[in-house]
A = this chain, B = another copy of it.
Amino acid sequence: MARVGRREEILAIACRLFSQKGYHGTTIRDISEACGILSGSLYAHINTKEDLLFEITDRGAEAFLGSLEPIVKSGKTASQKLREAVKAHMHVIEANLEAATVFFHEWKALTGDRYEQIRKKRDSYERLWAAILEEGIKSGEFKQLDEKLARLLVLSVANWTYQWYRPGGKLKADEVADRFVEMILIGFQA
């Protein structure tokens, strides 16, 4: 029989496996065996393998969007917003490293409408960052940067985090974010 909370357990296991071996590199049997059930039994909980990928990536997208929206809407300065945005982004990755890895690395394996849904949410997320940078450039708080390139720089740093950050290392996500923002704001040059 279907256990209560079993679906969440399956999602967590699929998330771990997708993050380690990729979506196409993970089989239904990999997931079911890690759950301690047979492959056919998985279909009491899901309809297709892609359901798992979509739910993982969609939750990821919502986590990033939900953490950034209030920051953009706040009345703080662009520098403060930038700092908090990077922190929020790092926090989402820290709290859901496997899901973040799947979100960044595997979302293109989605097909059709689901691919489009996630693509749109990624676009929305980028627009929120654009708003912060545009504000800082317009107000004179930042230099006269090319907004798109400045955004690409910040998002590169933020998005690459899942590739190297491991919870339990020397630095907490919060400290990493602070140091990155400091370097971005004041530059390397002495």
- Are B141 and A153 in contact, with the CB atoms below 8 A? no
Most chain B CB within a 10 A radius of its CB, from A105, A157, A187: A187
- Are A176 and B190 in contact, with the CB atoms below 8 A? no
In-complex Cβ contact of A190 among B24, B109, B142, B184 (8 A): B142
The complex is assembled from copies of this chain, and their number is 2
In-complex Cβ contact of A146 among B141, B143, B145, B179 (8 A): B179
Min Cβ gap A112→B in Å is 15
CA separation between A25 and B75, bound complex, in Å?
46
Query: 24 interchain pairs (CB within 8 A)?
Result: A22-B108, A24-B24, A24-B25, A105-B105, A136-B188, A140-B190, A141-B190, A142-B188, A142-B190, A143-B190, A145-B183, A149-B171, A149-B176, A149-B183, A150-B188, A156-B156, A156-B157, A156-B159, A156-B160, A160-B160, A183-B187, A184-B188, A185-B189, A186-B189
Q: Which residues of B contact A186 (CB under 8 A)?
A: 143, 187, 189
The 6 residue pairs across chains A and B that have the minimum distance between CB atoms: A187-B187, A24-B24, A156-B160, A24-B25, A186-B187, A156-B157
Min Cβ gap A34→B in Å is 18
Min Cβ gap A139→B in Å is 9
